[in-house]
Amino acid sequence: MIQDFSYLYVLDLLGTFVFAISGFLTASDKKFDLFGAAVISLVTALGGGTIRDMLIGSHPVGWMINANYLYAVLGGIVASILFKRHIERLRRTLFLFDSIGIGIFTVVGLQKTLGYDVSPFIAAIMGTTSAVFGGVVRDILSGEVPLIFRKEIYATACFVGGLFYLFLCWLGIGTDWSASITVLLIIGIRLLSVHFKWSLPRMG
């Protein structure tokens, strides 16, 4: 867990907030009730980080020892309820929130994993896990095929971004700058891949 309101910690809370909104909007599209939407928001925002912490042996998981993550989820739920009509008027809002979330969670998850004496390559995988597996749980509970199993560039963008973050750090660029550049890169890859219909080849 990143503490003392460092830049990465603030990014982590922001990612939690936007993923909570993403989850709530997905549940709203599926006509879930308020409780169901809140559950989807929770698992979307915290699911990836929970799986990452379990894999790297970080116990208890982050949100269980820092209530600020739950407050961030609650803030996302409240914002979704209060501004739902305004958000729904904006096309691709769900996509935008999701893209911001995966960018932030990739960097935060990678950085946390590096503190557990694992190789940088594994850290990049854990960063990707942090970013995408909350969405996997969200899609499964919502009755959708998880996005990472479709042809869109999604998890690939996170993994490429994670490797680029490591490269920037290897060059000696500061952590905060590397994080910001990487988040923007991942968001950019997602936006461009959807706009130009980039995709990985299908098997079979």
Q: Which residues pair with 199 in a beta bridge?
A: 152
- Output the pLDDT for position 12: 87
What is the rounded CA–CA span in Å between residue 36 and residue 181? 35
Closest-CA residue to 66 (of 3, 152, 143): 3
Predicted confidence (pLDDT) per residue in 38-58, tens digit:
999 999 999 999 999 999 998
With tokens 């042809």, the residue in question is 151
What is the rounded CA–CA span in Å between residue 186 and residue 132? 12
User: Is 141 within 8 Å of 133 (Cβ atoms)?
Assistant: no
DSSP H helix total and E strand total for the chain: 9, 0
Could you give the 3-state DSSP secondary structure of residue 142?
A: coil
- Output the pLDDT for position 153: 86
- Output the pLDDT for position 161: 97
Question: What does the mean pLDDT of the chain come to?
Answer: 88
Q: Please state the rounded mean pLDDT for residues 157-175.
A: 95
Predicted confidence (pLDDT) per residue in 67-102, tens digit:
999 999 999 999 989 987 776 665 566 677 788 889
φ/ψ of 169, rounded to 5, equals -65, -40
Name the pTM for this structure. Answer: 0.85
What is the rounded CA–CA span in Å between residue 194 and residue 124? 23
| Strands of the chain, DSSP E | none
What is the rounded CA–CA span in Å between residue 139 and residue 141? 5
